[in-house]
Structure 1
Amino acid sequence: MISQKAKYALRALSALGRAEAGEPLQISDIADRQNIPKKFLEQILLDLKRNGLVTSRRGKQGGYLLLKPANEITYGEVLRLIDGPIAPLPCLSLTAYRRCEDCNGESDCEVRHVFARVADETRAVLFSTTIADALNGHPARIAIEETV
């Protein structure tokens, strides 16, 4: 399950992706449009800014804008940034690999074999679906082979 923070981050990026190019959105506008608590949104936008996804402008016409185009920001990138590793098991993480403490060997672990497929398919969808795809109603379609 993704965290509420990640869900809010994706919704905030969607709001920014819908905005006119070069037109910043104020935190209060994003919070109202996406039903996100304003204080929590401030923290999320700061995280997104520190990681190069959004920028801010000061002043009367200020607010937040996407720093990267919506078609270059993937769901996987945002989830990894906000929630950390995407893998369901620590031994499957690409960014924070850790051997499972109770494992006798990864090559013989039936649980790992099943969840490796889950992790691969999940990453394929998340890292091929952009904010723009979601806004356009075209999330990535990945063909999953039937193995019956």
Structure 2
Amino acid sequence: MISQKAQYAFRALLALARLDDDEVSMISDIASSQNIPKKFLEQILLDLKRHGIVQSRRGKMGGYLLLKGANEITFGEVLRIIDGPIAPLPCLSKMAYRKCDGCDDEEACEIRKVFAKVTDATRKILDNTTIADAIADPEKADIPLIA
């Protein structure tokens, strides 16, 4: 399950992706239109800014906008920034690998084998679905499906 923080991050990014090129949106506007607590949104946008996803502009006409194109920002990238590793088991994590407690043989672990398939399928979708895909016409969206 993804965190509320990640859901807010996705909603903010989707709102920014709907703006015209070079148009900015103030935190208060995003917060009210997306029903996100303003203080929480400030923290989220700072995290996304540190990772090169959004940028801020100062001044009277300041606000936030996407630094990368919506077609370059994947759900997997954002989820890792906000929530950390995607893997359900520590032994499957690419970012924070560690051996599972009590496991003597990862290669023979039946639990790991099942969750490796789940993790691979999840990564395939999240790492190949962009913010642009999510706001595209659902009939035309290029969201990979698992057969």
TM-score, structure 2 as length reference: 0.95
User: Where does structure 1 lack aligned partners over 5 or more consecutive residues?
Assistant: none
Partner residue in 2 for 1:92: 92
Q: Distance in 2 between matches of 1:142 and 1:91?
A: 25
Q: Does 1:29 align with 2:29?
A: yes
Identity %: 67
Partner residue in 2 for 1:48: 48
Q: Distance in 1 between matches of 2:75 and 2:144?
A: 14
Structure 1: which 4+ aligned runs deviate by more than 4 Å?
A: none
Please tell me the residue identity of whatever aligns with 1:18: R
DSSP-derived class of the 1:142 partner: coil
User: Where does structure 2 lack aligned partners over 5 or more consecutive residues?
Assistant: none
Q: Distance in 2 between matches of 1:122 and 1:63?
A: 33
DSSP-derived class of the 1:65 partner: strand
TM-score, structure 1 as length reference: 0.95
Answer whether contact 2:121 2:146 (CA < 8 A) is retained. no
Please tell me the residue identity of whatever aligns with 2:38: K
RMSD: 0.9
> How many residues matched?
144
Q: Distance in 2 between matches of 1:29 and 1:143?
A: 37
Q: Distance in 2 between matches of 1:120 and 1:97?
A: 15
